[in-house]
Amino acid sequence: MKLKLASLALGALMAAGPALADLVFPDLSYRTGAYAAGGIPFSDGYQDYFTLMNERDGGIGGVPAKVIECETGYNTEKGVECYEATKGEGALIYQPLSTGITYQLIPKVSADGIPLHTMGYGRTSAANGKVFEWVFNYPANYWDAASVAIKYLLDENGGDLSGKNITLLYHNSAYGKEPIRTLEDLSKKHGFTLNTIPVDHPGQEQKSQWLQIRRERPDYVIMWGWGVMNQVAIQEAANIRFPMENFIGNWWAGAEHDVIPAGMAANGYKSLNMNRIGELPVFDDIRKYVVDAGKAAGDGSNVGSVLYTRGMYAAMLAVEAAKTAQQIHGVGQIDASMMRDGMEALEMTAAKMEALGAPGIGPEFGVTCSDHGGSGMGIVQQWDAAAQKWTALTDFIAPDRDVTAPLVEEDSMAFAKENNISLRCE
Amino acid sequence: MFYREAGDFKTSYGEDSQTFPIKFDRVRYYTVLVVAFGIIPFVINDYWANAVFVPFLIYAIAAIGLNILTGYCGQVSLGTGGFMAVGAYACYKLMTAFPDVNIVFHVIGAGLITAGVGVLFGLPSLRIKGFYLAVATLAAQFFLVWLFNKVPWFYNYSASGQISAPERTILSIPVTGPNTDAWAKYMICLIFVVVLAWIARNLTRGTIGRSWMAIRDMDIAAEIIGVNPLKAKLTAFAVSSFFVGIAGALFFSVYLGAVEVGEAFGIQKSFLILFMVIIGGLGSIFGSLAGAAFLVLLPVLLKNVLVGALGWPTDLAAHLELMIVGALIIIFLIAEPHGLAQLWRVAKEKLRLWPFPH
């Protein structure tokens, strides 16, 4: 009890005095735990882009951006703590980089009126803006990813997958279970056999799963992995001599740190990506204004890596949405509901991305009131172990919306019914 | 000086055997209740409710539950996380199946279902003891988590396997769902804690609690003097699981609102609650509360000091937090193996003699 009182006094001291002079972007990051390998570069990219805005452009529309970092450790309880700790500071947008935390936050942000952007993760059916007013998942979601992967395999097999065996190796959590429904529908449509093999958190032990794969000899393995699970899976695939070109990760299972531990054995491993890879002009600015000035969030070694690029892309979309909101409302100091208007009117065109120093970093897409999901396009990339880099194999592939759209509709309507939400945009 | 029995006369057996025989203790106890019920609900905000008080209260219920089993009855359990999951999923199924029934009954129902499951997994305790029983309950932990992941019926066939709590009200005040006010969340948890702690305290000093303690201290001797081990052990499992199940139900419905079984109720939750019980003090209701407070508040406090006040990088603070909490646990166990409750008892003994120790 005494401890409680002491912490009460101390905490009250901490909570005092939020300044409202900046545009606040909380960064719920994770730099510790089993998923830190992915969390660190993403968070570095996210923060560095805001620092670049402040250093090079003097803020967003003249108003400085402020990033509040809060460590979640990919843990939902800490995520809730971080959300409650930062929401009072004038937070404009939340990007938790965790599907578990996203599910926590969807009802909370809807009640508090703060936009939530889950880029390529989170609840897929949030793409339906008629139901999810405050949640966005552009430019792509899990069901798009599943569809893009199957489309790529269709292309490889001359448009016919009938009789093929495809195994989904997934993280046994909300994140990993998301694509199953889409893949089941796709297997009916294209006539392939789908097997699903779960890997429990954190995924450091996958001997039995890969033994099963070795026995069943599937034609392709698709992986929905994250954190340490990816490295282990690629190593195990190499151990059973599974042909790497038939092993495709989703876009959270395709970064440098996932493949480097397996060395040359990882050569040829493929993964999806929702953003372009390679050198971009904006990285030079980040090196000049942020890293060399000693203001980088990390040590600067991650600049240009896959997840750094994605974190930066996430920040870029947030900044563009904030700029759009400033234009719509004619004020510099926007609040969370104006930010939401900006996100809903966001247009990403090739010219805009070029002007930002990131030509072709993502697909062109526009967000509307009813569509919060973007175009859903993704590329397939392949790891070149000798050159230590990813190379893009395809251009942006469009998902099969004939399959995913009804699923989104069904799932979001179920959510609307459960929570008595009346539809918007009509 | 003021903290002693002298002058505090008892004229009935009831008074003589009350929980707080010393007047100062009684006053302190009622003061805490007045502060908890009369002041905190009016000043609490979202952060204090969601990050501090609600988790503390819910973990306190779980810790009392485990303390009944481990501290009073001497049966080591590593299945607390799994039993919390039973409570959470039972509560979810009841909430969605009977939306018109009051949430309080769902939470109690979830506790009863968990009690049943607890008895089932308590059956091996009649044959095996100590580490072997710990391993058997560990099996329960893994089996239950696997079950809730594997069988879609438990999560109503949702695409992601997540369960999320719909809005439910008491006297038309929402207590679950996103529109819940901080004070409502706090109050429902507080009422459950106070009632359950009161029940636990009175159970443990009555016949049934004495039979648990007899089994704990020496089961063969207890059996010879007429304590039925079947009844004692299974009631301990039932009551303990009832408490843990209620904690799980509140954890899911009031605190988090959406959970995923592997992440929220994994083996680390079992260990966390076991640590609370050990640090707080085995065989003490106050110890359960103190242990829960220690392990819930300390990380939040450290985070606020290191990141909020000193401005250190978040990853450094997170790693230091692990080291400090770990070091404190070890120091505590070496300096006072009987936990915070024993520290408190020693402090009270000293206070009684103060200022004239002999």
| A 403-422 residues with CB < 8 A to B | 411, 418-419
* Chain segment A297-334, per-residue pLDDT in tens: 888 888 889 999 999 999 999 999 999 999 999 998 99
In sequence order, what are the beta bridge partners of A69? A27
Distance in angstroms (rounded) separating the CA atoms of residues A29 and A297: 12
Asked if the model's pLDDT at residue A407 lies above 70, the reply is yes
What is the model's pLDDT at position A269?
94
Asked if the model's pLDDT at residue A86 lies above 70, the reply is yes
Contacts with A94 from chain B: Cβ below 8 Å: none
In the numeric block, which tokens belong to residue A233?
A: 């899976």
A5 touches chain B (CB under 8 A): no
What is the model's pLDDT at position A135?
94
pLDDT band (50, 70, 90) for residue A220: very high
Residue of B nearest to A104 (CA): B258
Q: Do B50 and A76 touch (CB under 8 A)?
A: no
Q: Are B46 and B186 in contact (CB under 8 A)?
A: no
Asked if the model's pLDDT at residue A13 lies above 60, the reply is no
Contacts with B301 from chain A: Cβ below 8 Å: 7, 10-11
Please tell me the number of Cα atoms within 13 Å of A75 on its side-chain side. Answer: 18
A155 touches chain B (CB under 8 A): no
What is the model's pLDDT at position B127?
87
Q: Do A100 and B263 touch (CB under 8 A)?
A: yes
In sequence order, what are the beta bridge partners of A384? A389
A18-42 mean pLDDT: 85
A18 touches chain B (CB under 8 A): no
A113 touches chain B (CB under 8 A): no
In the numeric block, which tokens belong to residue A57?
A: 């452009």
What is the model's pLDDT at position A283?
92
pLDDT band (50, 70, 90) for residue A16: very low
* Chain segment B76-115, per-residue pLDDT in tens: 899 999 999 999 999 999 998 998 899 999 999 999 999 9
Listed range (A15-29, A69-83, A242-256, B4-18) with the worst mean pLDDT: A15-29
| A 125-144 residues with CB < 8 A to B | 125
What is the model's pLDDT at position B228?
92
Cβ atoms within 10 Å of A328's Cβ, excluding its own:
14
Q: Are A199 and A229 in contact (CB under 8 A)?
A: yes
Contacts with A88 from chain B: Cβ below 8 Å: 46-47
Pick A73's closest partner by Cβ from B264, B293, B318. B318
pLDDT averaged over every residue in chain B? 90
A181 touches chain B (CB under 8 A): yes
Distance in angstroms (rounded) separating the CA atoms of residues A267 and A382: 8
A200 touches chain B (CB under 8 A): yes
Asked if the model's pLDDT at residue B282 lies above 70, the reply is yes
What is the model's pLDDT at position A12?
43
| CATH annotation of A143-276+378-401 | 3.40.50.2300
Q: Do B300 and A11 touch (CB under 8 A)?
A: yes
Contacts with A84 from chain B: Cβ below 8 Å: 46-47, 50-51
B223-243 mean pLDDT: 94
What is the model's pLDDT at position B1?
56
pLDDT averaged over every residue in chain A? 88
3-state secondary structure chain A: CHHHHHHHHHHHHHHCCCCCCCEEEEEEECCCCCCHHHHHHHHHHHHHHHHHHHHHHCCECCECEEEEEEECCCCHHHHHHHHHHHHCCCECCECCCCHHHHHHHHHHHHHHCCCEECCCCCCHHHHECCCCCCEECCCCCHHHHHHHHHHHHHHHCCCCCCCCEEEEEEECCHHHHCCHHHHHHHHHHHCCEEEEEEECCCCCCCHHHHHHHHHHCCCEEEEECCCHHHHHHHHHHHHCCCCHHHEEECCCCCCHHHHHHHHHHHCCCEEEECCCCCCCHHHHHHHHHHHCCCCCCCCCCCCCCHHHHHHHHHHHHHHHHHHHHHHHHCCCCCCHHHHHHHHHCCEECHHHHHHCCCCCCCCCEECCCCECCCCCCEEEEEEECCCCEEEECCCCECCCHHHHHHHHHHHHHHHHHHCCCCCCCC
Q: What is the value of ipTM here, to two decimals? A: 0.86
Pick A76's closest partner by Cβ from B177, B263, B290. B263
Distance in angstroms (rounded) separating the CA atoms of residues B276 and B216: 20
Residues in chain A: 426
Dihedral pair phi/psi, residue A371, rounded to 5°: -115, 105
Residue of B nearest to A142 (CA): B160
Contacts of B170 (CB under 8 A, 6+ apart): B102, B103, B104, B188
Q: Are B88 and B249 in contact (CB under 8 A)?
A: yes
Pick A7's closest partner by Cβ from B149, B179, B297. B297
Pick B46's closest partner by Cβ from A84, A104, A411. A84
pLDDT band (50, 70, 90) for residue A202: confident
Contacts with B305 from chain A: Cβ below 8 Å: 10, 14
Pick A84's closest partner by Cβ from B51, B290, B315. B51
What is the model's pLDDT at position B358?
64
Q: How far is CA A236 from CA A205, A208, A248, B57, B304, in A?
A: 10, 10, 14, 44, 41
User: How distant is the Cα of A145 from the closest Cα of chain B, in angstroms?
Assistant: 15
Q: Are A347 and A366 in contact (CB under 8 A)?
A: yes
What is the model's pLDDT at position B67?
94
* Chain segment A341-355, per-residue pLDDT in tens: 999 999 999 999 999
* Chain segment A98-123, per-residue pLDDT in tens: 988 998 899 889 889 999 999 988 88
What is the pTM (predicted TM-score) of this model? 0.90
What is the model's pLDDT at position B104?
93
B326-332 mean pLDDT: 87
Pick A71's closest partner by Cβ from B52, B256, B317. B317
Asked if the model's pLDDT at residue B241 lies above 60, the reply is yes
* Chain segment B111-158, per-residue pLDDT in tens: 999 999 999 999 988 888 888 999 999 999 999 999 998 898 998 888
Asked if the model's pLDDT at residue B257 lies above 50, the reply is yes
Chain center to CA of A363: 15
As annotated, the residues of chain A forming the CATH 3.40.50.2300 domain(s) are: 21-141+280-377+406-418, 143-276+378-401
Percent of chain A with pLDDT over 90: 57
Q: Are B167 and B112 in contact (CB under 8 A)?
A: no
Q: Do A103 and B159 touch (CB under 8 A)?
A: no
Q: What CATH topology corresponds to A21-141+280-377+406-418? A: Rossmann fold (3.40.50)
Give the H or E element holding residue B258.
strand B258-259
Dihedral pair phi/psi, residue A116, rounded to 5°: -125, 125
Pick B179's closest partner by Cβ from A40, A75, A111. A111
CB pairs under 8 A between A and B: 130
